[in-house]
A and B are shown apart, each in its own frame.
Chain A
Amino acid sequence: MNKIGIILMAFLFPLFGWTQRPTEVKKIAGGYFVPLYGSNDKEVYVDDFLLDVFPVTQQQFLEFVTAHPNWRKSQVVRLFADQNYLSTWPSDSSFGELIEMQWPVTNVSWYAAKEYCACQGKRLPAMDEWEYAAMASATEKNAQRDSVFNHMIIEGYERPKTYKNEVGTTYKNFWGIYDMHGLVWEWVSDFNSVLISGESRQDVDVERNLFCGSASINASNLMDYAAFMRYALRGSVKANYSIQNLGFRCAKSIEK
């Protein structure tokens, strides 16, 4: 789709209601897995579900706020989005010259992300769903033990300004999903179900279910470190927070 087309559509959408072309989804075949590798008795079951192939882009989110004025940065209710909400956008109607339309949208609150997905007939993925889809490398459903894959994840967490890349530029995983690691953090629906106090040593006691593995971390267990960093980030945020490195994608349940 060329730029002019997109700009034209951005102007036309409000006239016809919000009919944005939805991001393609892929089916993730469910199964059992261990979210934080190392606590073997804590397997979790994830049902089949659909997941967006890409994170939501700047352009897509601009179209969303154009159609839904109450989510524009000037009008959003402070309760639902803190002052960092879309803070890099110069105005309600533009993400400015410095941002590319195909970059993932960031600086959006959980409320805004949830609303965006709802308006598409979708929802945010649950944390277990997200983690289940994210443990797939390019070739394997479960790459938790793949040291090269784990290494790539941690390396991505250390690299700055990765949000300045277009969606789809990292890797395509086993399910056909892009950018699960290496681009931006992503909101999940139940991000705050993990109670990390920030005192990680204490968390070992408090959240025994989730973190007992941490006491027995062994040398081959790099996956835990990557997961710890994700869970720590989730534990540090509130639903109205908007963060430069935090975006989202949508998911959908499969009707039975």
Chain B
Amino acid sequence: MISLQMFAPNSLLYVFIFLFTLTSCKNDQNNVTAAVDSTTITVQGEMEAELTSPPHVPAPVGDRPAKKINVELEILEKEGEMADGVTYMYWTFGGSVPGSFIRTRVGDEVTFTLNNHPENKLPHNIDLHAVTGPGGGATSSFVAPGHGVTFSFKTLNPGLYVYHCATAPVGMHIANGMYGLILVEPAGGLSKVDKEYYIMQGDFYTEGEIGQPGFQAFDMQKAIDEDADYVVFNGKVGALTGDQAITANLGETVRLFVGNGGPNLVSSFHVIGEIFDRVHIEGGTAINKDVQTTLIPAGGAAIVEFKVEVPGTFILVDHSIFRAFNKGALAMLKVEGAEDLAVYSGKQIEGIYNPEGGGVQSMPRISPARPKAANLKEKLVLGQQIYSQTCFACHQAQGQGIPNAFPPLAKSDYLNADVNRAIDIVLHGKTGEITVNGQTYNSVMTAQVLTDEEVANVLTYIYHNWENNKTEVTETMVAAARNSH
């Protein structure tokens, strides 16, 4: 590099810049190496740790000195909801999945008490990745039901760390929800932001397929095969959607502490419609900027930060995308405030695109003309084809939808109540809150680019299946709805 610069025309200038950057680098390095050996940081005073359940995090450490911190965490084996109508026996740290968020700073001396509830059936322990020592605390924290153990450690390295249970069979304890995050802030704390949230991905293995109602036991075979039924944020489908969505106001900076408990899957964490301004890679000290998707290993974490410049609902996903739309790895961030059309305009013009530059067209045709249906039977066949191409991804194979994200079409009161409304939604899309079969949904369906006949066929198919009221929708009805706008 140096020799190349030397031979360049403005070599003198380059050398100057080079030397300048070199010295500034040196200064940076001095700052880093000047940091004290963490083992020698002395503690001043003592405090009880604030523990929070997800998606909340405790208050930042700010500029407080290192202290003795007492953490008391209770292990609870308890039944909870995996999805609407689906229950699961979770094993938890502190009663939630992920477990309570623990916030410390570098140099803190943590006295950790782990209590195993008397009603629990199994012994447990905790391996904190923030601990420097054999087993990350696991060897010292093995605890029988009805008992508690205490051990202590000093936080030596700043970063965002996973903790989890490491009792045999380890995979099963993690698969049942025994993981969480512990943050070790650097001296002086992380930079100040407006909103902070705690999100953790996990994969679950149940005896029934996704959506099968009732109590679902853990399926060891599927776990070994890494064949997850559910991949979710914060322990259940819809933990962070609709009313549970995390929120921010326009112009605020949001920091997400994102972990991945696994046990098996690696997360491609992404927020649709946002770019991470800063990512603490793998939860460590290195910062990457302007990141679209960040990889979070099982048993790892990342801190992502971004300023929200546009109002609306932003969808958080594992961008291994079938997990998001078919297995539950979907959360929502709602940003409120006034629109800035210069940053994002919304749809401005919708017109015809014709690469041949030809004359006026009255109707867009996205596909060659399909065969016309001669009778109801053929209509249902054609409707089914359209359904599986257009509707299936969100509303699912049996019209069951995805709890808290996409409403069901099967046996749907909302659908059966008003056929014209249904036609209108297919033609023009739908945004905002609706109630279907007693459940509230608040998401977005886009307008579908289908011909009148296709709309008639697919809606007829839907109305003739899954215990709906067998309405036959005609092209005339669709045309009328289209023209009324």
- A contacts, CB < 8 Å to B: 84, 87, 154-155, 157-162, 185, 196-203, 214, 219, 222, 224-225, 228-229, 231-233, 235-237, 241-246
State A200–B134 Cα separation when bound (angstroms). 12
Contact with A along B105-124 (1 / 0, CB 8 A): 00000000000001111110
Chain B residues within an 8 Å CB radius of A196: 142, 168
Q: Which of B138, B167, B217, B221 has the most CB atoms of chain A within a 10 A radius of its CB?
A: B167
A224 partner residues in chain B, CB cutoff 8 A: 169
Q: Do A244 and B119 have beta carbons less than 8 Å apart? A: yes
B123 and A198 contacting across the interface, CB-CB below 8 Å: yes
Shortest Cβ distance from B162 into chain A, in angstroms? 15
Closest to B88 in A: A158
Contact of B167 among A198, A237, A244 (CB under 8 A): A198
**Minimum C-beta distance from A194 to chain B (A):** 11
Question: What residues on A are CB-neighbors of B120 within 8 Å?
Answer: 245
Q: Is B135 an interface residue (CB 8 A)?
A: yes
Kindly report which residue of chain B lies nearest to residue A242, judged by CB atoms: B146
Residue in A158, A197, A224, A225 whose Cβ sees the most chain B Cβ within 10 Å: A158
Given contacts A199-B135, A229-B122, A232-B122, whether A244 and B166 have CB atoms under 8 Å apart is: no
Cross-chain contact B145 with A202 (CB below 8 angstroms): no
Distance A219 CA – B205 CA, assembled complex (angstroms): 15
> Are B217 and A219 in touch, CB under 8 angstroms?
no
Q: Would you give 26 A-B contacts (Cβ < 8 Å), ordered by A?
A: A84-B146, A158-B217, A159-B89, A160-B79, A197-B135, A197-B139, A198-B135, A198-B141, A199-B135, A199-B138, A199-B139, A219-B224, A228-B169, A229-B168, A231-B168, A232-B167, A232-B168, A235-B142, A236-B143, A236-B144, A237-B144, A243-B146, A244-B118, A244-B146, A245-B120, A246-B145
Closest partner residue, chain A, to B116 (CB atom): A236
**When A158-B217, A214-B168, A235-B123 are in contact, do A198 and B142 touch as well, CB less than 8 Å?**
yes
Contacts of A154 in B (CB 8 A): 218, 220
Decide yes or no whether B147 CB sits under 8 A from chain A.
yes
Which of A158, A197, A242 is B89 in contact with, Cβ under 8 Å?
A: A158
Complex Cα distance, B135 from A199, in Å, reads 6
- Bound-complex Cα distance A233 to B77 (A): 15
Complex interface: chain A residues within 8 A of B457 (CB): none
In the docked arrangement, what's the CA distance between A229 and B124, Å? Answer: 10
Interface string of B139-166 (1 = CB under 8 A from A): 1011111110000000000000000001
Residues on the B chain within 8 Å of A200, using CB: 138, 166-170
Beyond A160-B77, A160-B89, A200-B167, whether A233 also contacts B146 by CB under 8 A is no
B88: min CB distance to chain A, Å: 10
Chain B interface bracket (under 10, 10 to 19, 20 to 34, 35 or more): 35 or more
**Top 5 A-B pairs, shortest CB-CB distance:** A198-B142, A236-B123, A200-B168, A199-B135, A236-B144
Q: Name B213-270 residues within 8 Å CB distance of A.
A: 217-218, 220-221, 224-225
Contact of A197 among B118, B142, B144, B170 (CB under 8 A): B142
- Residue B125 is within 8 A (CB to CB) of chain A in the complex: yes
Chain A residues whose CB sits within 8 angstroms of the CB of B221 once the complex forms: 219, 222
**In the complex, A236→B120 CA distance in Å?**
13
Q: Determine the distance from Cα of A214 to Cα of B172 in the docked complex, in whole angstroms.
A: 14
User: Which B residues are CB-close (under 8 A) to A197?
Assistant: 135, 139, 142
Contacts A158-B217, A203-B168, A243-B146 known; 19 new A-B pairs at CB < 8 A: A157-B121, A158-B89, A158-B218, A159-B89, A197-B135, A198-B125, A198-B138, A198-B143, A199-B125, A200-B138, A200-B170, A202-B135, A219-B225, A222-B220, A225-B220, A233-B123, A241-B144, A241-B146, A245-B145
Asked whether B121 lies within 8 Å of A245 as measured between CB atoms, the reply is yes
In the complex, what residues of A have CB within 8 A of residue B217's CB?
155, 158
Q: Which residues of B contact A161 (CB under 8 A)?
A: 119
Chain A residues with CB below 8 A from B147, complex form: 241
